[in-house]
């Protein structure tokens, strides 16, 4: 981006956001920092106006940090549940986990995933549900279905309802299949040629998708164990159909792209 473009862009920015650039020069291009400083100087702000902008900046950064801490707390809780689940899957242990322990851990995992998504996508949810300009398309409908599926599956699974097993397994199958789809897409990814855009939307490492596939694949294996299925009165035909539903959803998404 050229210097003139930075100058024109920053004329539309509020002073508190320009201060973000000036306070963190190592995170921006030199031309960007220079243009931000020139724009602030050109506004000829009084000391009072500058103090007001700094207060707005501090309040915004505090809110951002507060949200980050909330998300981190949920992530720590998920890690704790994940560790417990990993311990249950560990083949080297004195005794096999009970069926009841498996069910409780997976139910808590769903609750944790729901809370994490709620905090992470709160602005998106509020905009889509309450803003007149919020757009509803197939992707948003699917997002909300999966979003509401998390607490429903967790609660129904906890109370030993057959539909809880079905919803949970569909979600695991969908998540594992979607990880495969994203893994394939990383090999077909072509950089845009604009470093700023590529850095803004980085492509995750394929390892992330492999680990995701192994995680949800392991959960599908647990849900397919005979002692779990017997508790929910799930036969093998029902099991294969349920797993297939998650795969079909991802295939539909793949062909719609």
Q: DSSP states of 138-187 as a string?
A: HHHHHHHHHHHHHHHHHHHHHTT-HHHHHHHHHHHHHHHHHHHHHHHHHH
Full-model pTM: 0.57
172 in Cβ contact with 246 (< 8 Å): yes
Mean pLDDT confidence for 1-10: 66
Confidence grade of residue 241 (pLDDT, cut at 50, 70, 90): very high
Which range has the top average pLDDT, 4-8, 73-77, 104-108, 223-227?
223-227
pLDDT in tens, 109-162: 888 888 888 887 777 777 776 666 656 666 677 777 878 888 899 999 999 999
Asked if residue 178 has pLDDT above 60, the reply is yes
What is the distance between the alpha carbons of residues 29 and 177, in angstroms, rounded to a whole number? 40
Confidence grade of residue 26 (pLDDT, cut at 50, 70, 90): confident
Mean pLDDT confidence for 93-119: 79
pLDDT in tens, 191-236: 555 554 455 455 667 788 888 899 999 999 999 999 999 999 999 9
18 in Cβ contact with 11 (< 8 Å): no
């Amino acid at each position: 981006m050229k210097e003139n473009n930075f100058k024109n862009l920053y004329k539309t920015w509020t002073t508190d956001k320009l201060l973000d650039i000036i306070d963190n020069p190592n995170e921006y291009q030199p031309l960007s920092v220079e243009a931000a400083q020139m724009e602030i100087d050109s506004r000829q702000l009084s000391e009072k106006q500058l103090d007001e902008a700094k207060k707005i900046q501090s309040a915004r950064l505090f809110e951002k940090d507060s949200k980050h801490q909330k998300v981190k707390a949920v992530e720590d809780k998920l890690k704790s549940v994940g560790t417990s689940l990993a311990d249950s899957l560990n083949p080297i242990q004195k005794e096999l986990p009970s069926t009841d322990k498996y069910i409780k851990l997976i139910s808590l995992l769903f609750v944790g995933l729901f809370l994490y998504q709620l905090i992470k996508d709160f602005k998106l949810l509020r905009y889509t549900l309450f803003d007149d300009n919020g757009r509803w398309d197939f992707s948003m409908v699917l997002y909300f279905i999966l979003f509401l599926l998390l607490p429903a599956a967790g609660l129904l699974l906890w109370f030993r309802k057959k539909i809880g097993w079905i919803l949970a397994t569909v979600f695991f199958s969908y998540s594992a299949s979607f990880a495969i789809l994203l893994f394939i897409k990383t090999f077909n990814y072509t950089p845009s040629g604009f470093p700023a855009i590529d850095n803004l939307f980085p492509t995750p490492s394929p390892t992330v998708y492999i680990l995701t596939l192994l995680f949800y694949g392991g959960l599908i294996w647990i849900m397919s164990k005979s002692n779990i299925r017997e508790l929910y009165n799930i036969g093998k035909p029902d099991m294969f159909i349920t797993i297939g539903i998650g795969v079909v959803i991802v295939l539909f998404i793949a062909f719609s792209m």
